[in-house]
Amino acid sequence: MKNAIKLLGIIAIVAVIGFSMAACGDDDSGGGGGSGGYAGTYTETSGGEVQIILYAAGNWSFRATNGTGAYMSGDRWAVSGNTILLYYSGDTVMYTLTIVDSTTLNFQGGLYRKQ
């Protein structure tokens, strides 16, 4: 009888854990990267001298590919509506990228395509 009660207890715990995981939706609001499948490397379409890299871990960077070594990075990015916000040092929004489609971003008038 004790074994049956233990088994029912374990089943109840597994059910609670399973339902709580099922109740958690996907994080479509960003907050850490990878949201909506936007993580990846985007290259400027006019000349390809700048790359925007959105890491799945949540951080981001700009990298010049023309040999100048120019580089900038931040600690967090998030999707908000049709924009991607690039944060630097906590809650300071450094840059805003406009989502054109699932593989194209607009930044300061330039288009960047996902590789």
Domain CATH for 98: 2.40.128.290
Q: Which residue has the higher pLDDT, 22 or 2?
A: 2
User: Which of 63, 115, 55 is closest to 87 using CA atoms?
Assistant: 55
Determine, yes or no, domain membership for 14.
Answer: no
Q: Is residue 29 part of a domain?
A: no
94 domain-assigned:
yes
In a domain, 54, yes or no: yes
The answer to the question of residue 93 being in a domain is yes
46 domain residue, yes or no? yes
Identify whether 4 is part of a domain: no
CA distances (Å), 27 to each of 2, 24, 49, 95, in order? 41, 9, 32, 21
What end-to-end distance do the CA atoms of the chain give, in Å? 61
Q: Convert the pLDDT of each residue in 70-102 to its tens digit.
A: 788 888 899 989 999 998 877 888 889 999 998
Please work out, in degrees rounded to the nearest 5, the angle formed at the alpha carbon of residue 39 by the alpha carbons of 27 and 104.
110
Report if residue 68 sits inside a domain.
yes
Return the pLDDT at 35: 56
The string of pLDDT tens digits covering residues 3-59 is 777 666 667 676 556 555 554 443 333 444 445 589 999 998 887 788 898 998 888
Dist. CA 23–CA 50, nearest whole Å:
41
Alpha-carbon distance of 107 to 115, in angstroms, equals: 16
Q: Which domain holds residue 76?
A: 35-114
* Residues 64/79, Cβ–Cβ less than 8 Å: no
How many domains in the chain? 1
